[in-house]
């Protein structure tokens, strides 16, 4: 299909602009040779220090994925089943890492695969260089369809997390240890939830490097997100699940963007009766994205688990905008009711 007709093309165009700004900012930093100080974490960044930091992360994830490949068969058997439209997310750190390693965002050809695959999937391979992949993609793993359903999902994820931690705990860059010490949160404690791990890692990298880089170089923000304030949360009764899940993918993304925006503005407060944190809500939205986009083999079971957490979510008052948690419950309920009809 034509590149410009792919559902992810608007995001790809935005990411290319972010990549362009990032490369200009890195080039200016190289010319100026300044040292960026991060007093909160007692860090000092030079260009070469930042390059070493990125290389250390590349080694971390090469080892991380080697564990998944050698110890668990899901990735070898899968053949890129998780490389579906909407699954990747390019962060500011991703584009800066590419530049520091001497690369740029992949320049895609005018004709690509199809609308259901990730825009970066070229044949059966990723168009990104092997030295760096988007953090969310590098972090992700699933349990495939061959795990023992008589034991809990948590047990299976814990087994993977244990293997990962044994291999990569000594590879976590020192700069992130400083963030851990300050926040009191161990990053590797989230290895059993790859979507959550990618999220907390992105936040830690933003604190340690991306934000200080933006402030120190004066570059226009690399973290701009599309405006969603006036987007209608899609839960209307006429919007039914059919044979095409494009509406589902886009509507779940609207929910996620709206939740992130409300969190950043400090206006998202969960109601009484939902015994969870805002971070739990965001993690559930991420999981819902993967279920919709990739139809993970354990998707039905994950939907049941998510639904149990939001069963008591109160509806909005008449005339008010639907709340994020109520819209999430609505989506999950529809998916559960129509699971066998999904393509």
In the predicted structure, residue 42 carries a pLDDT above the cut 90? yes
Shared domain check, 60 and 23: yes
Shared domain check, 284 and 167: no
Residue range(s) defining the domain that contains residue 280: 246-341
Task: Flag whether 175 is in a domain.
Answer: yes
Query: Taking residues 256-275, what's their average pLDDT?
Result: 71
Shared domain check, 266 and 191: no
Task: Flag whether 174 is in a domain.
Answer: yes
Cα distances (angstroms) measured from residue 193 to each of 136, 157, 170, 184: 12, 7, 20, 19
Shared domain check, 257 and 195: no
Domain endpoint, select from 198, 217, 236: 217
In the predicted structure, residue 233 carries a pLDDT above the cut 70? no
Task: Flag whether 136 is in a domain.
Answer: yes
Neighbours of 333 (CB within 10 A): 14
Shared domain check, 155 and 286: no
The residue written with tokens 């039905």 in the block is 300
Task: Flag whether 241 is in a domain.
Answer: no
In the predicted structure, residue 128 carries a pLDDT above the cut 80? yes
Shared domain check, 170 and 65: yes
Task: Flag whether 311 is in a domain.
Answer: yes
- Phi, psi dihedrals of residue 151, rounded to the nearest 5°: -110, 165
Domain endpoint, select from 176, 198, 217: 217
Shared domain check, 86 and 144: yes
Shared domain check, 121 and 18: yes
Task: Flag whether 239 is in a domain.
Answer: no
In the predicted structure, residue 225 carries a pLDDT above the cut 70? no
Out of 20-29, 49-58, 66-75, pick the least confident: 66-75
Shared domain check, 186 and 273: no
CB 291 within 8 A of CB 303: yes
Q: Which two tokens stand for residue 190?
A: 């989230």
Shared domain check, 63 and 13: yes
Task: Flag whether 84 is in a domain.
Answer: yes
Average pLDDT over the chain, rounded to an integer? 81
What is the per-residue pLDDT across 59-101, written as a single tens digit (0 to 9) for each?
A: 999 999 999 988 887 777 776 778 888 788 899 999 999 999 9
Shared domain check, 250 and 213: no
- Beta-carbon-side half-sphere exposure of residue 42 (alpha carbons within 13 Å): 6
The total number of structural domains that make up the chain: 2
**Maximum Cα–Cα distance across the chain:** 60
d(CA 206, CA 218): 15
Shared domain check, 298 and 205: no
What is the per-residue pLDDT across 132-157, written as a single tens digit (0 to 9) for each?
A: 999 999 999 877 655 565 666 678 78
Predicted pLDDT at 243: 36
Task: Flag whether 236 is in a domain.
Answer: no
Domain endpoint, select from 170, 200, 217: 217
């Amino acid at each position: 299909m034509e590149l410009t007709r792919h559902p992810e093309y608007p995001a790809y165009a935005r990411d290319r602009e972010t990549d362009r700004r990032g490369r200009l900012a890195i080039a200016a930093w190289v010319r100026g040779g300044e040292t960026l100080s991060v007093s909160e974490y007692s860090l000092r960044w030079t260009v070469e220090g930042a390059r070493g930091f990125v290389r250390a992360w590349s080694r971390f994830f090469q080892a991380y994925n080697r564990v998944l490949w050698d110890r668990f068969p899901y990735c070898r058997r899968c053949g890129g089943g998780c490389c579906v439209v909407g699954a990747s997310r390019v962060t500011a750190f991703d584009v800066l890492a590419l530049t520091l390693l001497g690369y740029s965002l992949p320049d895609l050809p005018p004709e690509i695969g199809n609308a259901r695959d990730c825009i970066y999937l070229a044949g059966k391979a990723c168009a990104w260089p092997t030295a760096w992949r988007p953090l969310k993609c590098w972090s992700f793993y699933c349990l495939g369809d061959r795990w023992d359903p008589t034991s809990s999902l948590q047990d299976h994820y814990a087994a993977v997390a244990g293997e990962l931690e044994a291999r990569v705990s000594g590879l976590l860059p020192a700069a992130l240890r400083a963030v851990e010490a300050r926040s009191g949160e161990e990053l590797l404690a989230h290895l059993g939830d790859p979507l959550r791990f990618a999220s907390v890692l992105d936040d830690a990298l933003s604190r340690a490097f991306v934000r200080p880089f933006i402030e120190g170089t004066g570059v226009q923000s690399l973290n701009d997100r599309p405006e969603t304030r006036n987007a209608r949360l899609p839960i209307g009764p006429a919007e039914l699940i059919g044979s095409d899940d494009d509406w589902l993918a886009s509507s779940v993304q609207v929910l996620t963007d709206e939740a992130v925006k409300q969190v950043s503005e400090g206006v998202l407060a969960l109601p009484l009766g939902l015994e969870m944190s805002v971070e739990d809500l965001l993690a559930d939205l991420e999981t819902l994205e993967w279920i919709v986009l990739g139809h993970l083999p354990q998707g039905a079971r994950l939907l049941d688990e998510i639904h149990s957490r939001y069963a008591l979510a109160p509806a909005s008052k008449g005339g008010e905008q639907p709340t994020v948690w109520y819209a999430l419950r609505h989506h999950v309920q529809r998916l559960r009711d129509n699971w066998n009809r999904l393509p």
